[in-house]
Each structure stands twice: as C-alpha cells, then as structure tokens.
Amino acid sequence: MLKRITTLLLCLSAFSIQSFAQEAKHSVSEDVYIYLQAGPSTQFRILGSVKAGEGLTSLNESSGDFSKVRDSQGRTGWIRSEFLSAGPSFRTQVPKLETALADTRAQLAKITAERDELAGASSQQQEANISQQRQLESVTSENERLKAQVSTLQNNERFIWLKQGGAIGGVGLVLGLILAYLPRPKRRKKNDHWM
C-alpha cells in the first residue's frame, strides 16, 4: 500500500513539474466540453468553446482556478485549471494505440506462424534424424556381423591351409618312409669284359 502511495505521489509530482514548463502542451480532458473565457472567471465573456481532447498551449499564467491558454485556432483565453491535462488527449492517443496494437498483433501472428512452421520443420527433422540413427545402427550392426564373419572365414581358411599342408607333409613323410624301406633292386655288375 505504501508503495502505491509513493508511486502516486511521484506521478503527481512529475505532473506538477510538467505543468510549470513554459509553453507546455496540454489538452482538454475527455469528459468535458468547456468554454474559453476572456478572463480568469466565468464572469468574463465567452470567446468560444473547446472540444474535449483538443490540443491547447499553456501560457504559464494562472489566476485562481483558471489558466491562460491558446487554442488550435489561435484564440487566447482562460479555462478552469482542473480541465487541463498534460500531454496529448486520449482521443488522439487511442487511434494511434489501436493502430500500434493491430500492427503488434499482426507481427505476433506472423512470428507465431513462423514459430509453428519452424517447430513443424524441427519435428520433421527430428523424425528424419531418428530414422537415420536407426539406419546407422542397423548398418553398424551389419558391418560388425560381416567383420566377424570375415574374421571367421579367414581363420577357417588358415585352418584349411594348415590341414592341407599337414596332410601333404604327412603323406610325403609316409611315402618317404615307405620308399626308404622298400627293397632296392640289385644292381648288375658291369662286366668289363671285352669281348
């Protein structure tokens, strides 16, 4: 609560500082339709009326409850200070704010659509990545299986060569032994007879 009161006092002090600035821009508050008086009271003649929200320039002169102003038509007169508000009128600000709001909503809709599109693309990319990861795992598994099969075939081939070499060696050994123990034919002596 104290924070709100402090904030309110700061806003009011900022408002009062702005109201003392020379040639400050003011406007008639939204809920009134007031008369521009020739002097600082309702006893002076009426110079014209000022529409609510119309821009006024404060001439930094005040007397009692009245402030001296110049309207958009160049007329100088007095109006009640309570009907004077600093800054532009809500009637001029609201259309600008509505336009800005519409632009912001359009930008938000565009950004949301882009985000949704990117999310869809991201989802598709994730699905493609998962599919490729599965394919990679499958290919890696197949590669490992084939490597194991090649290794087994190489070992089998070596074993076959070893068996064949051993068999050939064994057969050669047996033949050598058989040939060594076979009776040798006797040689005929050569006669050196001359006949």
What is the span of the domain harbouring residue 80?
17-88
Tell me, yes or no, whether 135 lies in a domain.
Answer: yes
- Whether residue 164 is contained in a domain is answered as no
Q: Which residue has the tokens 């609510």?
A: 52
Whether residues 79 and 107 fall in one domain: no
Indicate if 149 and 96 belong to the same structural domain: yes
**Residue at 66 is within a domain:** yes
Tally the domains of the chain.
Answer: 2
The reported pLDDT for the residue numbered 147 is 92
Residue 25 lies in a domain: yes
Shared domain check, 118 and 82: no
Residue 77, strand partner residues: 69
43 located within any domain: yes
Q: Do 52 and 68 lie in a common domain?
A: yes
131 CB neighbour count, 10 Å cutoff: 10
Determine, yes or no, domain membership for 122: yes
Residues 36 and 62 placed together within one structural domain of the fold: yes
Q: Specify whether 39 is located in the same domain as 62.
A: yes
Distances from the Cα of 157 to the Cα of 102, 147, 150, 168, angstroms: 80, 15, 10, 16
Same domain, 62 and 24: yes
Neighbouring residues of 67: CB distance < 8 A, sequence distance ≥ 6: 58, 59, 61, 78, 79, 80, 81, 84
CATH number at residue 30: 2.30.30.40
103 and 132 together in one domain: yes
Residue 19: its pLDDT value, please? 46
Please check whether residue 168 lies inside any domain of the structure: no
As beta bridge partners, residue 26 has 56, 86
Contact 78, 66 (CB under 8 A): yes
pTM: 0.39
Residue 78 shares a structural domain with residue 134: no
Print burial letters for 174-184: b (CB count within 10 Å at least 16), e (below 16).
eeeeeeeeeee
Q: List per-residue pLDDT tens for the chain, 195 residues long.
A: 556 665 655 555 554 544 444 455 666 555 557 888 889 888 889 888 888 777 788 888 888 889 999 988 888 999 988 888 777 776 777 888 899 999 999 999 999 999 999 988 888 999 999 999 999 999 999 999 999 998 998 888 888 888 889 899 999 888 888 888 887 777 666 666 665
Assigned token pair, 20: 């003392």
Do 67 and 61 touch, CB atoms closer than 8 A? yes
Instruction: Check residue 48 and give its pLDDT.
Output: 87
Q: In this structure, is residue 46 part of a structural domain? A: yes
| Residue that is last in its domain, among 70, 88, 106 | 88
